[in-house]
Amino acid sequence: MIDKKHITNRFIQYVTIDTESDPNNPAFPSSEKQWNLAKVLVEELKQIGMKEVELDKNCYVMATLPGNIEYQVPTIGFIAHMDTSPDFTGANVTPQIIENYQGNDIVLNKEKNIILSPDYFDDLLQYKGQTIITTDGTTLLGADDKAGITEIVSAMEYLIQHPEIKHGKIRICFTPDEEVGKGAHLFDVSKFGAEWAYTMDGSQIGELEYENFNAAAAKITIAGKIVHPGYAKGKMINSLLIANEFIAALPSDEVPEKTEGYEGFFHLHDLNGNVEETILEYIIRDHDFDLFEKRKNFIKKIVTDFNEKYQQEIISVTIIDQYFNMKEKITPVMHIVEVAEDVMKNLGITPLIKAIRGGTDGSQLSYKGLPCPNIFAGGHNFHGRFEYIPVESMIKATEVIIGIAEKVSKRS
**Are residues 162 and 221 located together in one domain of the fold?**
no
Is the peptide bond preceding residue 29 cis, with omega within 30 degrees of 0?
yes
Domain range enclosing 304: 214-323
- Residues 74 and 336: their CA atoms lie apart, in Å, by 11
User: Does pLDDT of 260 surpass 80?
Assistant: yes
**Are residues 206 and 226 located together in one domain of the fold?**
no
**Are residues 58 and 125 located together in one domain of the fold?**
yes
**Are residues 162 and 262 located together in one domain of the fold?**
no
Q: How many domains does the chain have?
A: 2
Determine what percent of the chain falls in helix, strand and coil, rounding each to the nearest 5.
35, 25, 40
pLDDT at position 250: 97
Question: Pick from 308, 323, 338: which residue ends a domain?
Answer: 323
Taking phi over 0 as left and psi of -120 to 50 as alpha, with beta for the rest, 256 belongs to alpha
User: Does pLDDT of 328 surpass 60?
Assistant: yes
**Are residues 114 and 45 located together in one domain of the fold?**
yes
Question: Pick from 280, 304, 323: which residue ends a domain?
Answer: 323
**Are residues 127 and 244 located together in one domain of the fold?**
no
**Are residues 41 and 12 located together in one domain of the fold?**
yes
Confidence tier at 112 by pLDDT (50, 70, 90): very high
**Are residues 128 and 163 located together in one domain of the fold?**
yes
Q: Which of 205-214, 228-237, 336-345, 354-363 has the lowest mean pLDDT?
A: 354-363
Q: Catalytic: 122?
A: no
User: Does pLDDT of 412 surpass 60?
Assistant: no
Q: Catalytic: 123?
A: no
Domain containing 219 — which CATH number?
A: 3.30.70.360
Please identify which of the residues 20, 145, 177, 178 carries the catalytic annotation. Answer: 178
Question: Pick from 323, 338, 364: which residue ends a domain?
Answer: 323
Domain containing 104 — which CATH number?
A: 3.40.630.10
Please identify which of the residues 18, 83, 145, 209 carries the catalytic annotation. Answer: 83
pLDDT at position 358: 81
User: Does pLDDT of 333 surpass 90?
Assistant: yes
User: Does pLDDT of 411 surpass 90?
Assistant: no
62, 186 Cβ separation under 8 angstroms = no
**Are residues 282 and 351 located together in one domain of the fold?**
no
Mean pLDDT, the chain, integer: 96
H or E element at residue 300: helix 289-309
**Are residues 220 and 143 located together in one domain of the fold?**
no
**Are residues 198 and 330 located together in one domain of the fold?**
yes
| Burial of 253 from C-beta contacts in 10 A (0-12 / 13-18 / 19+) | exposed
Residues 134-160, mean pLDDT to the nearest whole number? 97
Q: What percent of the chain has pLDDT over 90?
A: 94
